[in-house]
Structure 1
């Protein structure tokens, strides 16, 4: 029977190996921290809007090259361009269509009469015939120069101001064949490059980042030169490099530590090889199952999975600890003897991990599947292969004897009065820490991007006046016309906030595509004003100029979206989502967090207009699921207690209480140290439930058995090493998770033998 199981498992492992080869040849790895977080299930259109905005810039790399004067800035831009062109990175200059502006002007020309800014609309409504005529005469006798239209096509010179308003959405202006802006004591050249591959396909070799740094050095060689760079490719490479380092540190560090423990305990190559094989197969199974169930594997899943090494080796430890000192012929009996406890431990751990799958967090579902599949893979390797390949003798070592014998010297907590002060002190410490415990669910605490990237992003946004992708208005309507009309209503309120300095401006689709009703009204307004102006000019000059004719058709969304002008604003037109149409109005130059409430107030009472503060929404979502998972922990402890009672009857509390105390003391530790309670802290506590109970299960299954304590001791130390290293992660989410696991595991590991059964007592 054993040989057949070994063969079947070998075939499955072979299939996993084949899948691993295919996976790493075409690996699709996710790097965005926000992919760990849930969609707002009550507003899927918000997720669609933010995804579309992100997709538009997914490959883009934006650089500002500055110097104290324009000539030096041009030289610096040439130096940066030369370095990036020769860098060997998957970059290419963004294609700039030199004729795009001319094509957009020609597209709009037939509709010029219905394209007015709010200021123009207000002036035309109140201007007298004398004012209109004077303006028209001034425009007529202006010195000849470049013009968008003939005088007869635009006698009041309205159109240049409309284009100037569109250009104000971006601070960069054409100059000597480049895009230029001035700010913060420098003249700047705007360079736009793009990755030839998806940002999520960039590896951990950081070629794009290296190329940018070489360009930065070349620019720095010019006196006063400075380069500022931002873009998703840089963040993706930083995440990939960080994850690669952490996988090596956590995974390899844990593996080396585990194998060293195995050598110290058993002084045999066979346990090292077999435990190492069980760990590698467990991780391979975990990755294959995750890749088959999910479209893209998140890098943080791999980093989190690296800590699996600290848990999956428990089964091998228990086998070899029980196998020590027994002849090889008894290895099957040893496995059968251990199987009930190992199965119960596997069940509680897998259930704890899979509880993560109850959350709507895509990344956490991946982590749950990865960990649960990895544990099952490691367990099946131990069950199917260890009795088959463990053929030699395994003598008891001096190190193993000392550890096994230490159980008898471990203090045992009883109901005697001498333990009462210690228990009272423990309660006081716990209560004090819990009283000081604070919750903080701000998503910004989970940002793990390098500080230099964040600083460059802020500076570039400040110089270019870029709109914020985190705060925006989502506009909904039954049809396209209603969406545009609702945008106009919203802009009327925002104009007052711009005047108050709450923000510097906004970008709206209706600026480029006015609603039909407004087009008709503006066409009538401009026609009346321009006819008066032309008549005044005729009276003053004695000539008979005439106003140009314009089309009667309305500029429709379908016509606009297929035009050369559409790329400037297309990313903000979401189009149909379900039954309704949607657009996004983006904001520029928000004065600070203190004004967000005033912006939210601007949407109040406007039907179909929703204020979206993605940062605040995600933070609220984190808080909500932190509370849900907290309730799940309580329910989980009750469910585990019921399971333990079914197996251990009245002694079940001995395996259960250490985990409860470990959870309370971990929360107290966070309170005393000022570490805030976050969702990822709670998730760590949830896993403590499954893994911490394992120690008590094995000590109750084999009361007084030194080999069981040896296995528990080794498992505890290796788990501490794994999650201790996870606490060193540069990713805040993993760091707080690892810290919770580290403190909790230490506490549970120390307390569990204190609640072991007295000698001679039976679990029944």
Structure 2
């Protein structure tokens, strides 16, 4: 069937085919322009590459809230020699950010003095429902005298917080201790509304210097992963920091937040797209020039690449409405693959100078068609990965190859019909290489062959035995060391900060949820003591359950219903307070703190994201418990196994688990693809030759895995995806040798050039600073290298397998 199609195409008028190609080019270009004007964009959000986790509605809501809270907030620490300098620098920074007309940041703050006042105003009316653990124990065990003595010490203490207004409403001064207990335990202090902490820096000579660190926080407007937003926020922040340093050059700055990781990733990706793409283009162009010594092949090669990239970009935008920067980084390798058709065409023309361009295309049409099909199938395997970014890579490269294929079939008969300089020298070198391989294969006797085979099997088996796996999602992007170091130092100042992992507590009713948070509180304290976490923040301190409030109210009845006279006499207060206090206590009965009133007040607005009320999508109550300074996520997960209503939400771990599953699935898909390819090839070749064609890339994949194990590189999903491409690209080499029969010198030259261009493209990816891209490129570098070395031996066996 392929031969008949080749014949039909060869009989089609050359100008008609060229006109069809021009029409294809015009439609593609107009479609691209329309998509771009319609809002298509370049995406740099690394989260857009991640698989979508199928979670229950409550967990999805919690994840969305935490990600929104963490992704858009930046933390700045200004290090100074003394408090006054640190406070001044922080105020200058906050003023500069607030006064910026570009509106890059909102909610710029340090310590919130209004928050303490709001808490006081909210909780004071509920003071009869509040008791600390110590106070509750004293009242329940009949130790009222201890509370009286503590109140007396405050009354006669010149530095105490007692005043006439407070005493008239709270004679035992229980409320201030309850209000103070709400403040999270931390090492930070507040001076003039600025959070201050201690920072120790160590220089290259291991000399430590102590600084005062002023902490400023700001919420970015828009997503930190949007390139335009990043550029705006980084510019505004840089201007504000320059203003600070203008006043005091000695100020040092530490920064933390998703903005700085995302900005570094965007810069790295843009740099790699330009440098790797340009280097690949220059290398391929140089390769074409050295091989054919003519402007026309080089010009047509560049035209093929341009058409390929145009097709890739437009098809990706058409399907996804956006194209990811990582797709462009991976897509730079398309240059080294799309040019393969050009190499095979021109090398065949050099080998068969008596044939026209149209005849040469008819001759190679079956091989390039099968090659296109297998390559597209290979990219389809990548498209099955759960990552939208990798699905884009699959569409990008498959569409790009189709564009190159269409250009070869339709445009080359007219554009590439001109005469070529003599290519006898490179063809002679290719023939000599094949001759040496044939001589080598014949010279090996059975014993030497068996020994070499045994050594290869042993070494490969040892490498496979040493091969490990690593599915950590953080391999997608590695931030620069400077960014990581600054964040680590700032986390130290903030006593661990907040991690991406958190606890989600759920219940069917509000009261049950609050009770579960209270049960969880001592468990969290134990986790801190055991060193599993650095800190935890829970709503249990701010929202006591109704049962606890009722218990506290009853315990305070010992004061206001039974012993109020003794309390007033012991403290030397006016007897007239007796009736007023008793009446206030009575009126407070049944007035409880509830989540709705607290979250809706000025006191609770900062904690609103941590409370999840039922909606039409989900019917459960939920509360988020933030964690910081996690040291061992596995032990921490086991720490809460006795509380089934507590869920450790670890999106990083969940996605990493999915990566492991898809890594295994990808390897199975590779095996299935090889079987299907062997069956498809057997319709054109004998079964033995078809199996041999598939065996070359299969063996290359095994050798690549073995070498990864020998060098200690763990296997990831990206290695597995690259192995699919090793098969999809490498099988082309086998196909061309199988199709060439005994006339192989043109094929050898084309395969050499193709391998060089592919190795150049993917070899450059192996030098990427992004671990995922590095793994992808390194595997293809090894796999294509092995395939190039093994594929010429097929022509040795074609004498037997006809």
How high is the TM-score relative to the length of structure 1? 0.89
Report the secondary structure of 2:126's partner residue: helix
Distance in 2 between the 1:138 and 1:733 partners?
64
Distance in 1 between the 2:560 and 2:291 partners?
95
Shift of 1:345: 0.7
8 A Cα contact 2:281 2:335, kept in partner: yes
Report the secondary structure of 2:715's partner residue: coil
Distance in 2 between the 1:619 and 1:454 partners?
21
Task: Check 1:60–1:472 CA distance in 2 against 1; reply closer, same or farther (3 A cut).
Answer: closer
Shift of 1:228: 1.1
Distance in 2 between the 1:330 and 1:661 partners?
37
Shift of 1:119: 4.6
Partner of 1:233: 259
Task: Check 1:550–1:494 CA distance in 2 against 1; reply closer, same or farther (3 A cut).
Answer: same
Partner of 2:363: 337
Q: Please give the per-residue CA displacement for 1:198-237, whole angstroms capped at 9, x wherever unaligned.
A: 3122359966557767838965995864321111221111
Question: Which of 31, 37, 41 is 1:27 aligned to?
Answer: 41
8 A Cα contact 1:129 1:536, kept in partner: no
Residue 77 (structure 2) pairs with residue 64 (structure 1): yes
Shift of 1:162: 3.3
Partner of 2:675: 638
Task: Check 1:87–1:715 CA distance in 2 against 1; reply closer, same or farther (3 A cut).
Answer: farther
Partner of 2:542: 512
Greater shift in the superposed pair: 718-727 or 675-684: 675-684
Partner of 2:128: 113
Task: Check 1:115–1:183 CA distance in 2 against 1; reply closer, same or farther (3 A cut).
Answer: farther
Task: Check 1:481–1:698 CA distance in 2 against 1; reply closer, same or farther (3 A cut).
Answer: farther
Shift of 1:458: 1.5
Distance in 2 between the 1:93 and 1:198 partners?
13
Question: Which of 712, 716, 741 is 1:674 aligned to?
Answer: 712
Decide which structure has the larger Cα Rg and report it.
2
Question: Which of 201, 222, 246 is 2:272 aligned to?
Answer: 246
Question: Which of 200, 222, 235 is 2:225 aligned to?
Answer: 200
Greater shift in the superposed pair: 448-457 or 316-325: 316-325
Report the secondary structure of 1:457's partner residue: helix
Report the secondary structure of 1:396's partner residue: coil
Question: Which of 564, 575, 581 is 2:621 aligned to?
Answer: 581
Shift of 1:76: 4.0
Report the secondary structure of 2:362's partner residue: helix
Shift of 1:328: 11
Partner of 1:188: 213
Greater shift in the superposed pair: 190-199 or 689-698: 190-199
Distance in 2 between the 1:617 and 1:205 partners?
28
Distance in 1 between the 2:30 and 2:187 partners?
57
Partner of 1:565: 603
Shift of 1:103: 3.6
Greater shift in the superposed pair: 507-516 or 342-351: 507-516
Q: Which runs of 5+ in 2 are unaligned?
A: 1-15, 201-209
Greater shift in the superposed pair: 264-273 or 727-736: 264-273
Report the secondary structure of 2:597's partner residue: helix
Shift of 1:744: 1.0
Task: Check 1:234–1:573 CA distance in 2 against 1; reply closer, same or farther (3 A cut).
Answer: same
Greater shift in the superposed pair: 144-153 or 415-424: 144-153
Distance in 2 between the 1:610 and 1:16 partners?
48
Distance in 2 between the 1:196 and 1:471 partners?
24
- Considering only aligned residues, what root-mean-square deviation do their CA atoms show, in Å? 3.4
Residue 308 (structure 2) pairs with residue 294 (structure 1): no
Matches within 5 A, 1:218-229: 219=245, 225-229=251-255
How high is the TM-score relative to the length of structure 2? 0.86
Partner of 2:8: none
8 A Cα contact 1:305 1:370, kept in partner: yes
Task: Check 1:82–1:481 CA distance in 2 against 1; reply closer, same or farther (3 A cut).
Answer: closer
8 A Cα contact 1:140 1:155, kept in partner: no
Task: Check 1:409–1:59 CA distance in 2 against 1; reply closer, same or farther (3 A cut).
Answer: same
Q: Which runs of 5+ in 1 are unaligned?
A: none
Task: Check 1:733–1:46 CA distance in 2 against 1; reply closer, same or farther (3 A cut).
Answer: farther
Matches within 5 A, 1:134-283: 134-140=149-155, 143=158, 150-168=166-184, 171-184=187-200, 185-203=210-228, 215=241, 219=245, 225-283=251-309
Task: Check 1:277–1:217 CA distance in 2 against 1; reply closer, same or farther (3 A cut).
Answer: farther
Q: Please give the per-residue CA displacement for 1:543-573, whole angstroms capped at 9, x wherever unaligned.
A: 2324234373433333333222333222323
Question: Which of 682, 687, 696 is 2:725 aligned to?
Answer: 687
Question: Which of 51, 64, 89 is 2:64 aligned to?
Answer: 51
8 A Cα contact 1:488 1:510, kept in partner: yes
Report the secondary structure of 1:569's partner residue: helix
Distance in 1 between the 2:482 and 2:351 partners?
58
Task: Check 1:161–1:292 CA distance in 2 against 1; reply closer, same or farther (3 A cut).
Answer: farther
Report the secondary structure of 1:340's partner residue: helix
Report the secondary structure of 1:646's partner residue: coil
Distance in 1 between the 2:198 and 2:138 partners?
31
8 A Cα contact 2:154 2:162, kept in partner: no
Shift of 1:19: 4.3
Q: Please give the per-residue CA displacement for 1:378-408, whole angstroms capped at 9, x wherever unaligned.
A: 2223333333433532343355434543453
Distance in 1 between the 2:316 and 2:248 partners?
50
Matches within 5 A, 1:740-751: 740-751=779-790
Partner of 2:435: 409
How many residues get paired? 758
Shift of 1:618: 3.8
Question: Which of 379, 390, 394 is 1:368 aligned to?
Answer: 394
Shift of 1:718: 0.3
Residue 556 (structure 2) pairs with residue 535 (structure 1): no
Distance in 1 between the 2:31 and 2:429 partners?
37
8 A Cα contact 2:382 2:721, kept in partner: yes
Distance in 1 between the 2:682 and 2:134 partners?
77
Task: Check 1:284–1:170 CA distance in 2 against 1; reply closer, same or farther (3 A cut).
Answer: farther
Distance in 1 between the 2:222 and 2:524 partners?
39
Q: Please give the per-residue CA displacement for 1:478-534, whole angstroms capped at 9, x wherever unaligned.
A: 243333332222223223444555545421133322333333333333444455564
Report the secondary structure of 2:470's partner residue: coil
Report the secondary structure of 2:682's partner residue: helix
Shift of 1:246: 0.8
Distance in 2 between the 1:598 and 1:759 partners?
59
8 A Cα contact 1:282 1:376, kept in partner: yes
Task: Check 1:244–1:100 CA distance in 2 against 1; reply closer, same or farther (3 A cut).
Answer: same
Task: Check 1:391–1:113 CA distance in 2 against 1; reply closer, same or farther (3 A cut).
Answer: farther
Greater shift in the superposed pair: 411-420 or 627-636: 411-420
Shift of 1:696: 0.4
8 A Cα contact 2:35 2:318, kept in partner: no
Task: Check 1:681–1:53 CA distance in 2 against 1; reply closer, same or farther (3 A cut).
Answer: same
8 A Cα contact 1:696 1:752, kept in partner: yes
